[in-house]
Homo-oligomer: A and B are copies of this chain.
Amino acid sequence: MFELLAQDQSRGYRTRRGRLTTAHGMIETPAFIPIGTQASVKAVSPRELRELSAQMILANTYHLFVRPGIDLVRHFGGLHKFMNWNGPILTDSGGYQIFSLAKLRKITEEGAQFQNHIDGTAAFISPEIAMEIQAALGSDIAMVLDECQPWPCEYDYAARSAEMTTRWARRCKEWKTANAQCPTPEVFASKQPNAERPTEEAVEANASPARTAPPANFKNASGKGATKEDQQLLFGVVQGATFDDVRQASAQAIVDLEFDGYAIGGVSVGEPEEEMMQAVEASEPFLPNDKPRYAMGLGTPPQLLEMIARGMDLFDCVLPTRLARNGTAFTSIGTLNLKNAEFAMDKRPIEENCACPGCREFARGYIRHLIKAEEILGLRLVTLHNLHFYLDLMRQARDAIEDARFDSFRKQFLGNYKTRNGPVEKSTSTAVSAGTLIFRNFRPGSHV
């Protein structure tokens, strides 16, 4: 399911070039995963995602659970058919949003009780329910339910929480083992209140002719779109906050459970970038070489290269889509705030020689006008550009690893990319000035 095609481990790098096979297609790694929170990558159509060569998208279980509800997605034959995306989908467990968005949450060994942030409806998610929901969504990669530890975090809490995450991971694995050969259980539907359950009348009224058949390139042999349980991959999550020994123990325990892939969770939650790097460095040596590694919720373009350098394969981040909606574009020399007056008469594209639809056809001055006038086309164009930037950066990284020139690729990128006021600046500038050294916290030879 995961094939390691090349590694560039010169100068202490841990870079990997791989290929992950899922029920809906292959993902060449390192890969960036655009985020489609509510079954839509914001402002972008599935067709545009295909044209951008997006390989996989992420959908948020919590958001879909709250609205439109899992029964409704199941009614449409799963997430792939619902949103008409035929490529691979990764779903998170819902845990992160329960901890960051939901109200009145209470976490026990059994699971998480919470009220959703939309209408306050009470709900409960256990490791088993998180698995049921993701099975109903029919994603290609499911994540175990974990507790995302905050930053800062006390050592004792981090240790106890990571141990519970391991126990939850075991329950997810057991659920999967028990259900892999069975049809999706329907128990969930009767157990939970649904935020927006359609009326019976609505169901009856629409029992009539189905809409047009799915496109011929639907990967699933059943034609139903959803990934069957026995094809759905399950990734474990390493926690442990910023404590090396907790990270190491968590990684070892999760790996012992044998998942299809491993994620580093609890990073990019507000900690200094050096601690983020350290958390990955502490966990990575314990992850098996023949499984994909997923750094959750990351990051800026320089951070992605640092994570690739540290042996990570998969990344998801809201930055390219979220910043686009505020008029901020990623370029090889750093971000541009297109609202700035300096771009008003600028006839150049956002980035010279960029192949994205925004840069091929429109000038900065026009896009700035659209953003200032709050025209939807403006944020559409910047979103497409930013996603292209992230996806193309990963393509360049893959090529560099294959050609064993990751070091020069990384240095050239970081040398051009200017960051502002952020923790990235310190880290990358240190790295660049260090010449042969890679970055501050990276200790060649310490990873065995």
- Interface residues of chain A, those whose CB is within 8 Å of chain B, are 38-40, 42-47, 67-68, 72, 75-76, 82-84, 196, 198-199, 201-203, 205-206, 208-212, 215, 341-349, 352, 357, 360-363, 365-366, 369-370, 372-373, 375-381
Pick the contact of A211 from B44, B205, B348 — CB < 8 Å?
A: B348
Complex Cα distance A85/B30, Å? 38
Known contacts: A46-B361, A361-B84. The answer to whether A209 contacts B375 by CB under 8 A is no
Sample 10 A-B pairs with CB under 8 A, ordered by A number.
A38-B375, A47-B357, A68-B372, A76-B345, A76-B366, A82-B366, A203-B345, A205-B342, A206-B348, A376-B376
Q: How far is the CB of A120 from chain B (nearest CB, A)?
A: 17
Candidate in A201, A205, A362 with the most chain B CB atoms within 10 angstroms: A362
A47-B361, A205-B346 are known contacts; what are 14 more A-B pairs with Cβ within 8 Å? A42-B375, A43-B380, A68-B344, A68-B372, A72-B344, A75-B365, A76-B363, A82-B363, A82-B366, A201-B342, A202-B343, A210-B348, A376-B376, A376-B380
- Knowing A45-B380, A342-B205, the reply to whether A84 touches B348 (Cβ < 8 A) is no
A203 to B362, CA, bound (A): 18
- Contact at A212–B360, with CB atoms within 8 Å? yes
Q: Contact between A206 and B347 (Cβ–Cβ < 8 Å)?
A: yes
Q: Is B362 in contact with A84, judged by CB distance below 8 angstroms? A: yes
A326 to chain B, nearest CB (A): 14
B377 close to A44 (CB less than 8 A): yes
A67–B368 Cα distance when bound, in Å, is 11
Query: Which 10 pairs between the two chains have the least Cβ-Cβ distance?
Result: A198-B344, A43-B376, A206-B346, A68-B369, A40-B375, A38-B373, A40-B377, A198-B345, A211-B348, A211-B347
Q: Establish whether residues B211 and A363, one from each chain, have CB atoms under 8 Å apart when the complex forms.
A: yes
Residue contact A376 to B373, C-beta cutoff 8 Å: no
Would you call B40 and A348 a contact (CB within 8 A)? no
Q: Which of B209, B211, B370 contacts A40 (CB 8 A)?
A: B370
Query: Taking the nearest CB of chain B, how far is it from the CB of A329, in angstroms?
Result: 14
A215 CB to nearest B CB, Å: 8
Q: How far is the CA of A379 from the CA of B211 in the complex (A)?
A: 20
CA distance A192 to B83 in the complex (A): 50
Docked complex Cα distance between A365 and B203 (Å): 11
How far, in Å, is A277 (CB) from chain B's closest CB?
34
Which residues does chain B contribute within 8 Å of A349, judged by CB atoms? 211-212
With contact pairs A202-B344, A344-B68, A348-B209 given, residues A83 and B376 touching in the complex (Cβ less than 8 Å):
no
